[in-house]
Structure 1
Amino acid sequence: MKGLLCCLFATLSWGGMFPVMTHALTHIDPFNFTTLRYGIAGVAFALLLLFREGRSAFRLQGERWGLAWLFGTLGFAGFGFLVFLGQHLAGPGGALTASIMMATMPMLGLLTVWALKKVRPRASTFGFILLSFSGVLLVITHGDFASVLHSPGNLTANLLLIAGALCWVLYTVGGSYFSGWSPLRYTTLTTLLGMTSVAAIDGLLLGTGTLAVPSAAAVTAVIPHLLYMSLIAGLMAVLCWNIGNRIVTPTNGVLFMDVVPVTAFVVSALNGVLPTEVQIAGAAITATALVLNNLNQRKIARQSAPQPVLKTAAARR
């Protein structure tokens, strides 16, 4: 029950962050918001790691800090900038589109593991991947598939969202390269190292005049959004996700990704942005693909498991 509740809390929090960002993006751009968000989350993670594991946990001598910086850059600069910029470009319905992209992460993860670790998915898995993306296409096109090609703005937004989701998948897979680190240490150090890239990119955009320095009024207006995104959808959700998956295993935990778009749909509807019947059908197709793939992976695992050898009566004697 503890594992299930932890996974549920994490995905409910992540589902709520997209409608929250819809509000925040009316006051501030996604780049400055992401910098402020991960700045707060980074300090919170650092204090928690210091309390739990002490100062030695921050020492990177002899560690693969360059690789940790790369994954941190992908996870925080890549995900934060690309996803929320894509959501901003997608307009009022961007929260729904962004949330359904998050439900495709397990499928993107299979393709990523294939590319990085040469573990090729089975043919049945490819079928579920195609089914998943067909549901995504229904959500982002409202059933009009030609609109993807005829609307460059929507195409750009969707490509940014997919790229951002892929960045988070790469960051998640990156944890397997640091098996000697606790989940808290991996999260904290990659956040702090990734923040160097976040700050550098944001500083470059501000210095070249591409972005304007946010006003004090804009920052004040998004303080509630920052607190939610950094402390609830950031700190608490990530920790609960790590704890929950350790208890119920990632095979079961990944099913909770279905909660993300459902939560976003409900919160958006309460704010007046109602999903169409086609979008609901697309979300259901993507969720079904995720569940079926999960069941398929369980079947494959059972078939691959070594069978116990039964001793004969003669052998026992």
Structure 2
Amino acid sequence: MKSKYSTGVIFCLIATLSWGGMFPVMTSALTRVDPFHFTAIRYAIAGLAFALLLLMKEGWKSFSLKGERVFLAWVLGTAGFAGFGFLMFLGQQLAGPTGALTASIISATVPLLSVLANWAIRGVKPAKATTGFILMSFVGVVLVITDGNISAMLSHPASFAAYLPLVAGALCWVVYTLGVSFFPAWSPYRYTTLTTILGLSSVFFVTIFLNLSGYIVTPGAADLAAIAPHLFYMSLVAGVIGVLSWNMGNNIITPLNGVLFMDVVPLTTFIISALTGIVPHPVQIGGACITAAALILNNVYQRRRLAALLKASALPA
């Protein structure tokens, strides 16, 4: 039992370490290609890999959508891949050299953002303590974004508009993650693969539309060659290996424990960024610690609340 739990921990570490590395990787890639073409190529590669895995695991029958909620699956795939991929990395590009730090810390707030999304979608109002932890994590994010100069954000809010796509992208991933509950009969392989394939239609449509409208330009052969290592990492390491490791790890140690590993994402990003010359300031490090503390404290609160509910339910009437 202990060795199985350790295996789950290793899977969650592999996932979050790979995700923490993807933001510094994108810092370099975004200097050669726009986030729209990159996302289209990335998920085309990842989608093919997922399709092969699903075929080997469950056979051709798993690709059938007869009698399934196809439109909902398309909406969720669009949110998870077009929404997250476009908005998160567009925001990182607009944020400049420190965009990787900001993107990583906003990604770490996904578990807390999911509480708000659950409230909006299912009407499940969060407890007062959880609401406080959400506000606490927001304070940490603001410190990372502003580097402590909050007055500048208040006096020039337009200069911080680049961070709105990052928040929107994180919310898209929250919607995609919550969407798995609408397909209880689907395995993690099937949900990931089919939503990726359906979401790719939106990815390609938006990319082609922006290309034809002149907003973006098709990258040349030299640019594609330059970002080949980045595509390999983002598609197969952060994409396929990261997502599958996350699903398998949470299946073993439960999401209540797995969610704590989201703190590894900004930690990894901050370390890699520092090694590449983008050193976070003390205020930014403090902000990241506040956000991490909010996630941990909320997890402790949820555990105690769950334990109290289980104890109450065990009492005789």
TM-score norm. by structure 1 comes to: 0.96
- Distance in 1 between the 2:240 and 2:153 partners? 35
CA distance 1:35–1:90, change in 2 (3 Å): same
Candidates 62, 66, 69, aligned match of 1:57: 62
- Please point out which of 194, 198, 202 is paired with 2:199: 194
| More displaced stretch, 154-163 vs 269-278 | 154-163
Instruction: Determine the structure 1 residue equivalent to 2:3.
Output: none
- AA paired with 2:58? E
Aligned residues: 311
Amino acid in the other structure paired with 1:111: L
Say which SS state the counterpart of residue 314 (structure 2) adopts: coil
SS of 2:150's equivalent?
A: coil
Query: Of the candidates 64, 73, 79, which is equivalent to residue 74 of structure 1?
Result: 79
Which amino acid in the other structure matches residue 121 of structure 1? P
For the residues of structure 2 that align with 1:197 and 1:132, how far apart are their CA atoms? 32
Match of 1:214 among 216, 219, 233: 219
Q: CA deviation at 1:250?
A: 0.5
Tell me which of 84, 88, 101 is aligned to 2:89.
Answer: 84
Residue of structure 2 equivalent to 1:160: 165
Unaligned runs of 5+ in 2: 1-5
Of 203-212 and 92-101, more deviation after overlay is shown by 203-212
2:291 is matched with 286
Larger radius of gyration: 1
Structure 1 position 154, deviation (Å): 4.0
How far 1:37 moved relative to its partner? 0.3
Does 1:264 find its partner at 2:276? no
- AA in 1 matched with 2:220: S
Amino acid at match of 1:292: L
The yes-or-no answer on 1:308 pairing with 2:308 is no
Query: What CA distance in whole angstroms lies between the structure 1 residues aligned with 2:144 and 2:203?
Result: 30
1:120/1:147 Cα in 2 relative to 1: closer, same or farther (>3 Å)? same
Q: Matches of 2:269 and 2:238 in 1, distance apart?
A: 13
Shift in Å, 1:208: 1.3
Q: 1:129 to 1:223 in 2, by over 3 A?
A: same
Identify which of 124, 144, 160 aligns with 1:139.
144
Taking a change above 3 Å as real, the CA distance of residues 179 and 215 of structure 1, as seen in their structure-2 partners, is same
Is residue 2:171 matched to residue 1:170? no
Is the contact between residue 128 and residue 292 of structure 1 (CA under 8 Å) also seen in structure 2? yes
* Match 1:34 to one of 19, 39, 56: 39
Structure 1 residue 109: deviation in Å? 0.3
1-side partners of 2:216 and 2:33: how far apart?
10
Q: CA deviation at 1:88?
A: 0.2
CA displacement 1:187-214 (0-9 Å, x = unmatched): 0000000000000000001111111111
Residue type of the alignment partner of 1:308: A
Give yes or no for the alignment of 1:3 onto 2:8.
Answer: yes
In the alignment, which residue of structure 2 is the partner of 1:179?
184
The RMSD of aligned alpha carbons is 1.2
Partner of 1:315: none
5+ residue gaps in structure 1?
Answer: 312-317
Is contact 1:244–1:253 with CA below 8 Å preserved after alignment?
A: yes
Question: Residue 89 of structure 1 contacts residue 154 of structure 1 at CA under 8 Å; is this kept in 2?
Answer: no
Q: What do the CA deviations read for 1:165-198 (whole angstroms, capped 9, x no partner)?
A: 0000000000111111001100000000000000
1:150 Cα deviation (Å)? 3.9
1:314 alignment counterpart: none
Instruction: Render the CA deviation track for 1:128-166: whole Å, top value 9, x for unaligned.
Output: 111010000000000111222444554221111000000
